[in-house]
Amino acid sequence: ASADLDGYLRVWDSRNGCLLAQTRHADGITALAFGPAGQTLVSGGFDRTLRLWQVGVVKP
């Protein structure tokens, strides 16, 4: 996963580098972390919010 100061959060397929999902905060994202099982992602931003995302499982 990656995040940027424009507020975009992107989830990538680690096998082939393809973009799986994209969403955004109202403002820049300053923190990003996966949960212990890798199925959740939390992001925090300049808009003073934390967002919890459910990461889907993509099968080949």
The per-residue pLDDT for range 7-42, each reduced to its tens digit, is 899 989 889 999 988 888 889 999 999 999 888 899
Residue 12 CA to residue 3 CA, distance in Å, equals 11
CA torsion through residues 31, 3, 45, 53, sign: negative
Domain ranges of the chain: 2-54
Residue that the structure tokens 């109202």 belong to: 26
Residue that the structure tokens 């939390």 belong to: 42
* pTM, 2 dp: 0.75
